[in-house]
Structure 1
Amino acid sequence: MEKTLIQNTVHFNSKLSFLREVIEYRLKDNYTTEIPIFPKFDHIVSDDSLFSIFVRKKELSLEEVITLLLAIVPHISPNFFTTIISDFLPNGGELPEFGGVKGKNHRGIIPTGETVQFIIGGNDIQQRTQLTEMFYEDHLFRSEGVLYLDSVPIGEPKMSGRLMMDEEYVELFTTGKILKPTMSKDFPAERIDTQLDWDDLVLNNKTLQQIKEIETWLNYNDIVLHDWNMKSRIKPGYRILFSGPPGTGKTLTATLLGKYTGTDVYRIDLSMIVSKYIGETEKNLSKLFDKAKNKSWILFFDEADAIFGKRTNVRDAHDKYANQEVSYLLQRIEAHPGLVILASNFKNNIDTAFTRRFQSIIEFENPSYKERLSLWQKNLPDKIPLDSQVSLEEISKKYAITGANIINVVQFTCLKTIAAKHETIQLDTLLEGIKKEYLKEGKMVTI
């Protein structure tokens, strides 16, 4: 990693020198009688830095490379633009054609779309107009989430928006690290993982077989779409509903799918998405899906009933906007190119408009006697023996609890056993833990 950081730092010196020459060329061409020579571009992206590798892989044009450099400059050389302008205007003055704005904390100039137009296109109206295409939805910069123009107040030119590079690409190009997003107002999701393995997941064979189909999609979908040229026939993405009682393995399944396919899993915090203010829920969802659009993430909506519930008959404005939220969700999920998993305790609570579009609906049932026995055997510690009075077979038959309940009982039992300095796991301790689980859920139990 240190070698990568040094490579990127060293090679950016030559890239910024090239960008400085490009800007100086434009300033001389526009404001002096001098006939400048455009700097040579030949070897600027021929090195082994991640920036250059990206440029070559995507076959970017000279204009696109200059735009990338303009976007990344504020992150590595805050006084870059001010120094060039000060050298060109030693007695002070302004260059409105240059564009650029000041930030709240950043003391230098933040380039805008107008900066791109000026430096590359000068006063050539046709070229300046063509440059706006770099910020269209279908351009690589937007479609792969590399950079974009920040929104501007109504009535102001779109190209006066700040040139913004996604922070993940800033980190990648400068340090070589892949930055994982953290939960925030703009990204209402947390990355989840597990130390467990598939062997630790105890489900019936039918459910396990359906889960294997998801793993197959994650591994081979790109081949079907691109190598077999099925993009025009098959919709992007994969949509699944996990349905079943709490504690039956829905979240663990999602994390294991990510673990064994090398895919990050993000659990969506619905409390940060749903808003009582009109339009805010859609806006929050838009940020989430825009961020995830070009990543091979698994989006996991736990307790999805809260936001994917059935639409109602319109009785008032609230119903109208609630239905609009569901419709918007439907559009975004259907267009999302990745894997989306919705988890619900009750399948019937999910709007049928969603269920019709799921490639798979997987039922997670309460574990059977054999599955409960397997869960007890897998999760009790092997560092301490069971008391002779403990029969896991009898406990598994008598107490119909879920995998999550069993984990809670095991944790409770371990702590009580250590505190009491017992040399074996006692039956009374296990039964006390089971009773606590029943009482938590408001159920009666005879111990």
Structure 2
Amino acid sequence: MSKNQSLGFDTVMLHLQELVIWRLKHPKLSFEKAPQLDSQALPDSLLKQLIKVLELDAAEIAILILVLAPNLSPELLKFCVNQVFPDGGELPELGGIQGKNHRGILPTAETALFLIAGANIEARGRCWHYFDKHSKLIANKVIQLEKSEKNEPKMSGALILDPEYTSLFITGNIPEPELSIEFPASKIETQLTWDDLVLNDETRQEIRDLEIWLKHNETLQQKHHTTSRFKQGYRVLFHGPPGTGKTLTASLLGKYTDREVYRIDLSTVVSKYIGETEKNLAKLFDKAQYKNWILFFDEADAIFGKRTQVRDAHDKYANQEVSYLLQRLEEHPGLVILASNFKNNIDAAFNRRFQALVYFAPPGYQERLELWKKTLPKKFKYAPEIDLKTIAKTYDITGAHITNVMHYCCLQALNQDSLTITSENLTAGLKREYKKEEKMF
């Protein structure tokens, strides 16, 4: 935490303390008469930047620092109450809940309403808009209003600062999300470069077009005001046999456009329980909406497959899942890549919404020859009797297979105290790959 950030926190927490005490003493006064925070006088910090970018008004600033308080000054609300009411007493208008481990008062929407509207019922009604889905703080996922207990008022739900913003304000960094039901995806990276990716010319050009979109679409929309003219986001299908470079391409697109790539774990997303798959996907898309992430759905057939005729309730809800996906894909502002081994397995409704369909063909002779050359690690060499042209012509295998063969051969060479790939080891490695695929060698 920088010194400037620390001073900024002191300022806003002291302001909140002053504001709460003022409200407890003057429940009927208008918020216009409340102590005001001069956000321009705050030291430079990420909190100040957010206030400026979202153009928050005084009430919204008060709500923001109220939900920040439990993370920095957990005793603040209790302290304020004790200052004004040292003999104690019930304060239902203040709202708030007690956590399981947190010993202070956790603010609810009722707490925020009391802070900005006091006991004025008309004013409280007018302030409800601060907690609907279109409000600046909620629409931008800065805060969230938790569901209240069954049969209790909506505003009794806890008001929470998003964990990412909490970390961002306090530490200056957002921790990488971990694979879970809440976030069914994991980050993928690569140490390889574009030079290591072997594709035919047509596929390579389509990937260049994707890279161009990633680099320039934001400029097109913001500087040339094309948001209303062109759809947000980019949806593309990578299709072709396994081992032809689909995952590596997604990783390289992220690497060379400075974006994180998250591969969605479909086993975590898909649920046999009705409605759960949609909930899992909603969490994923909500988390990714304001990030510069690339979402990569590997083996997408499992969830983006063809809809079926409705014969029973299961078919009905399976089709609803596909329809929900169509809606979220249309709304997502970033790049979404679906990968499938078979294009025909993807529902036709998705095909119409893809900006591009990129076919990753099995490598031909020239691509295989290049792969055999590129996959050989530095300092290793092929034995003189190995003719790579003959190997490339004879064995019709993918880049993933060639990588597996080379890995096997290098280990065998090291076991023989050598850095030479022999014909015997190469043949043995090829046989292993053919056996795995249940093919005749």
TM range (shorter): over 0.9
The alpha-carbon deviation at position 438 of structure 1 amounts to 1.3
Q: Aligned partners of 2:136 and 2:247: how far apart in 1? A: 34
Query: Are residues 1:323 and 2:309 paired?
Result: no
Runs of 5+ consecutive residues of structure 1 not aligned to the other structure? none
1:102-113 paired onto structure 2 within 5 Å:
102-113=98-109
Query: Are residues 1:130 and 2:126 paired?
Result: yes
Which amino acid counterpart does residue 6 of structure 1 have in structure 2?
K
Query: Are residues 1:377 and 2:345 paired?
Result: no
Give 2:330's match in structure 1, choosing from 318, 321, 334.
334
Report what 1:23 is aligned to.
20
1:20-419 paired onto structure 2 within 5 Å:
20-30=17-27, 38-42=34-38, 46-419=42-415
Q: Aligned partners of 2:236 and 2:36: how far apart in 1? A: 52
Is the contact made by 1:5 and 1:174 (CA closer than 8 Å) also made in structure 2? no
Which amino acid counterpart does residue 85 of structure 1 have in structure 2?
V
In structure 2, relative to structure 1, the CA distance for the partners of 1:96 and 1:416 (3 Å cut) is: same
Is the contact made by 2:13 and 2:73 (CA closer than 8 Å) also made in structure 1? no
The alpha-carbon deviation at position 133 of structure 1 amounts to 1.6
In structure 2, relative to structure 1, the CA distance for the partners of 1:39 and 1:243 (3 Å cut) is: same
Identify which range, 96-105 or 247-256, moves more after superposition: 96-105
The alpha-carbon deviation at position 212 of structure 1 amounts to 1.1
The alpha-carbon deviation at position 131 of structure 1 amounts to 2.4
The alpha-carbon deviation at position 254 of structure 1 amounts to 0.7
Runs of 5+ consecutive residues of structure 2 not aligned to the other structure? none
Q: Aligned partners of 2:2 and 2:437: how far apart in 1? A: 53
In structure 2, relative to structure 1, the CA distance for the partners of 1:40 and 1:139 (3 Å cut) is: closer
Which amino acid counterpart does residue 273 of structure 2 have in structure 1?
Y
Q: Aligned partners of 1:401 and 1:169: how far apart in 2? A: 48
Report what 2:7 is aligned to.
10
The alpha-carbon deviation at position 42 of structure 1 amounts to 2.3
Is the contact made by 1:314 and 1:320 (CA closer than 8 Å) also made in structure 2? yes
Q: Aligned partners of 2:144 and 2:164: how far apart in 1? A: 13
Query: Are residues 1:420 and 2:416 paired?
Result: yes
Q: Aligned partners of 1:41 and 1:106: how far apart in 2? A: 27
The alpha-carbon deviation at position 422 of structure 1 amounts to 2.4
Identify which range, 52-61 or 258-267, moves more after superposition: 52-61
The alpha-carbon deviation at position 87 of structure 1 amounts to 2.5
Partner secondary structure for residue 164 of structure 1? strand
Which amino acid counterpart does residue 290 of structure 2 have in structure 1?
N
Report what 2:426 is aligned to.
430
Q: TM-score, normalised to structure 2's length?
A: 0.96
1:412-432 deviation line (CA, Å, top 9, x unaligned): 111111112124221111221
Q: Aligned partners of 1:374 and 1:235: how far apart in 2? A: 39
The alpha-carbon deviation at position 442 of structure 1 amounts to 1.4
Is the contact made by 2:7 and 2:43 (CA closer than 8 Å) also made in structure 1? no
Is the contact made by 1:8 and 1:175 (CA closer than 8 Å) also made in structure 2? no
Q: TM-score, normalised to structure 1's length?
A: 0.94
Q: Aligned partners of 1:192 and 1:432: how far apart in 2? A: 31
Q: What is the aligned-residue identity percentage? A: 52
Is the contact made by 1:14 and 1:44 (CA closer than 8 Å) also made in structure 2? no
Q: Aligned partners of 1:323 and 1:111: how far apart in 2? A: 40
1:218-277 deviation line (CA, Å, top 9, x unaligned): 112122223222222222111100000111010111111111111111100000111111
The alpha-carbon deviation at position 378 of structure 1 amounts to 1.2
Is the contact made by 1:241 and 1:344 (CA closer than 8 Å) also made in structure 2? yes
Identify which range, 218-227 or 91-100, moves more after superposition: 218-227
Partner secondary structure for residue 230 of structure 1? coil
Q: Aligned partners of 2:60 and 2:194: how far apart in 1? A: 45
In structure 2, relative to structure 1, the CA distance for the partners of 1:439 and 1:60 (3 Å cut) is: same
Identify which range, 119-128 or 161-170, moves more after superposition: 119-128
The alpha-carbon deviation at position 206 of structure 1 amounts to 0.5
Q: Aligned partners of 1:38 and 1:316: how far apart in 2? A: 60
Which amino acid counterpart does residue 319 of structure 1 have in structure 2?
D
The alpha-carbon deviation at position 52 of structure 1 amounts to 0.9
Partner secondary structure for residue 190 of structure 1? strand
Identify which range, 89-98 or 207-216, moves more after superposition: 89-98
Which amino acid counterpart does residue 395 of structure 1 have in structure 2?
I
Please identify runs of 4+ aligned residues in structure 1 that moved more than 6 A: none
Identify which range, 103-112 or 183-192, moves more after superposition: 103-112
May I ask how many residue pairs the two structures share in their alignment? 440
Partner secondary structure for residue 27 of structure 2? helix
Identify which range, 122-131 or 9-18, moves more after superposition: 122-131
Which amino acid counterpart does residue 414 of structure 2 have in structure 1?
I
Q: Aligned partners of 2:431 and 2:76: how far apart in 1? A: 67
Is the contact made by 1:45 and 1:55 (CA closer than 8 Å) also made in structure 2? no
Identify which range, 120-129 or 233-242, moves more after superposition: 120-129
Is the contact made by 2:244 and 2:360 (CA closer than 8 Å) also made in structure 1? yes
The alpha-carbon deviation at position 37 of structure 1 amounts to 6.7
Q: Aligned partners of 2:376 and 2:160: how far apart in 1? A: 52
Partner secondary structure for residue 378 of structure 2? coil
Q: Aligned partners of 2:192 and 2:212: how far apart in 1? A: 20
